[in-house]
Structure 1
Amino acid sequence: MRDGTRFGEVADVYEDARPAYAPGLAEAIAGYHGSTPGDVLEIGAGTGKGTAVLHALGGRLTCVEPDPRMAALLAARFPAAAVVVAPFEEAGAGPADVVGCALAWHWLDPERRNRLAFDALRPGGTLAVFGHRYDYADPAHRRAFDEAFASVDQTPAVVRDDAWVHRDVLGSGLWADVRADATSRTLPLDAAAYLRLVRTFGPFRTKTPHAQERTLDVLARTLDALGGGTVLDLRGFLVLARKPANRAGVAPRADN
């Protein structure tokens, strides 16, 4: 898990500022899996935003999180869960009936993430990768914030389209019955809440303290010009896949 500990400095902010996942995710995963799982394994659990979804499945929960500061908050929130403080690539966790990953799939080694998740599952087990992409409900706000970020950092942003996880899982050739679903919901934020959220984003965490201050200052002025807040469009995704019961992998097939 690359740079898996960059968020620990703002673990408390992360827990407070990051929005919860959309209602209905646990029900969708449970419906696909078909029964109550005995063991659930979470990759890159952070402070537990995705853990809340996976906990609702009802199985014994093991959470893998590389940052000890994030893991401490996670353990306090979910005392019944077993918390493994290690990168997923080194954890050796499993076997599980469900392997879940919320907004951490891109942090995993792209050459190994599907195979590692596949090997952590029992035959017939379910992979559930879910999360949301942050966009702006108003295109004028999107342009204003794009200009604000670019004014302090000319480095091109890494932009992943909404379907990249689905393509990644499907393209591995390991999984059966690969399905994808998408949602969209709005999240109004005042200036303070927006700035706290930005402090938890990976690209922001890589900046020097001086560059972070400059970024927050420019964003604060942008928010003021936009009326003191903005409305985000949380573009949610859920990718589900099954480990074949008696095979090491299958040719990929998309259901939707």
Structure 2
Amino acid sequence: MAVPREQRTVFGEVADAYERSRADYPAALLDLIAGYATRTPAEVVEAGAGTGKGSALLRRLDVPLTCVEPDPAMAALLARRFTGDDLVSVVVGRFEDWRPPPGGVDLVASAQAWHWVDHTRRTDMAAEALAPGGVLAIFGHDYGFADVGLRTAMDAVYQRYAPEIADLPGRPVHTRHPGAFDPQELRTAPGFTDVTHERVVTVVPYDTARYLTLLSTFSPHRMLPEAQRTRLHVALADLVDTHGGVVAHELTTWLWLARRRGPAAADRS
């Protein structure tokens, strides 16, 4: 009997496609994190690092970066990406099982992955991993559509070929999962203060082929039976081709920041 696939573990099936098609993070995001932190962190840990889209941004801080990734295939690609980089270490495992160094770290970050961390204790774990005054940064992309007409036409295709995920076009990625991030978690968490929200909006064009590759990396698509997914993607490809062969994604990169309660790290003795 085949072992049921877990939705959180399907990304390794398409790790290379994920790396090629998922959007990078804008440099402005790092400026927002650094401005909030007010100083360069001494050490950073990233929960659910994937193939390193967020890691590449965080690496620009030029400090030790620990990338925790549970999927072995994703972690292997991540390790190759940073081969020979002494500041980056890759830990294959769940953030839930990772143990922070004594005294904690100054920055815990998660790029498009916080919804996969156990939502019943992730805020507490982040607080425990941070030094007093340390920063939690949760960020990711929402793939919206610049062309409302194309979005409407796509909805119809989903309704016909995959009604169980028919609300996917334009629906924020981080709201599709049981562990969807709710900012109220941070606002009411006893271990955090100074909760704030930022966003950066860009328009990213995807030609038909790259758009289909992108869709193949979204977990709801991956969970469809292969034949059904193929029919859906063929229909979507035909639709995009009739609209000029390009999907203009209005990419909203959202960022939530919170500070670990306690004296600033510089004041620790």
Relative to the length of structure 2, the TM-score reads: 0.85
Q: Which amino acid aligns with 2:114?
A: W
Which runs of 5 or more residues in structure 1 are unaligned? 248-256
Q: 1:222 maps to which residue?
A: 239
Q: Which residue of 2 aligns with 1:147?
A: 156
Equivalences for residues 191-210 of structure 1 within 5 A: 191-210=208-227
Specify whether residues 161 and 19 from structure 1 end up closer, same or farther in structure 2 by C-alpha distance, changes over 3 A only.
Answer: closer
Query: 2:216 corresponds to which letter in structure 1?
Result: R
Q: What root-mean-square deviation, in Å, do the aligned CA atoms of Structure 1 and Structure 2 show?
A: 2.1
Kindly provide the CA deviation profile for residues 162-204 of structure 1, in whole angstroms up to 9, marking residues without a partner as x: 9965333224343111111112110111111111111111111
CA deviations on 1:36-66 (whole Å, 9 max, x unpaired) are 2111000000000000111112221101000
Q: Which deviates further from its counterpart, 157-166 or 230-239?
A: 157-166
Give the C-alpha shift of residue 226 in structure 1: 1.6
Aligned match for 2:229, one of 209, 212, 215: 212
Give the aligned length. Answer: 246
Give 2:47's aligned amino acid.
I
User: What secondary structure does 1:24 align onto?
Assistant: helix
1:70, 1:115 → 2: CA distance?
26
Identify the match of residue 238 of structure 1 among 235, 246, 255.
255
SS for the counterpart of 1:197 is helix
1:85 is matched with 92
Aligned identity (percent) is 41
Residue identity matched to 2:81: R
Contact 1:15 1:47 in 2 (8 A): yes
Is contact 1:47–1:74 with CA below 8 Å preserved after alignment? yes
Moved >6 Å (runs of 4+): none
Q: Take 1:232 and 1:167, find their aligned partners in 2: how far apart are those partners?
A: 28
- Partner SS, residue 109 of structure 1: coil
Amino acid in structure 2 at the alignment position of 1:4: R
Q: Contact (CA 8 Å) 1:3, 1:107: kept in 2 or not?
A: no
Contact 1:36 1:58 in 2 (8 A): no
**1:15-56 deviation line (CA, Å, top 9, x unaligned):** 011110122111211121122211100000000000011111
Q: Distance in 1 between matches of 2:155 and 2:190?
A: 36
TM-score, structure 1 normalization: 0.89
